[in-house]
Amino acid sequence: MEELTFLVKGSATKPYEVTFIKDGNSLTALCDCPAGQFGNSCKHRIAIMDGDATAISGRNADQASRIVEWLAGTDVEAALTEMRQAEKDPEKTKADVANLKKKLAKAMNS
pLDDT at 56 over 90: yes
Helical ranges in the chain per DSSP H = 34-37, 43-49, 64-71, 75-88, 94-108
- Distance, C-alpha 60 to centroid of its chain: 17
Those residues with Cβ within 8 angstroms of residue 24's Cβ, 6 or more apart along the chain or in another chain: none
Count of CB atoms within 10 A of residue 23's CB?
11
Q: What is the mean pLDDT of residues 51-69?
A: 92
Q: What pLDDT is recorded for position 89?
A: 87
Q: What pLDDT is recorded for position 92?
A: 82
Q: What pLDDT is recorded for position 58?
A: 79
In tens, the pLDDT along 4-38 reads: 999 999 888 899 999 999 998 899 999 999 999 99
**What residue segments make up the domains of the chain, in order of their start?**
2-108
Nearest to 52 by CA among 68, 38, 71, 73: 68
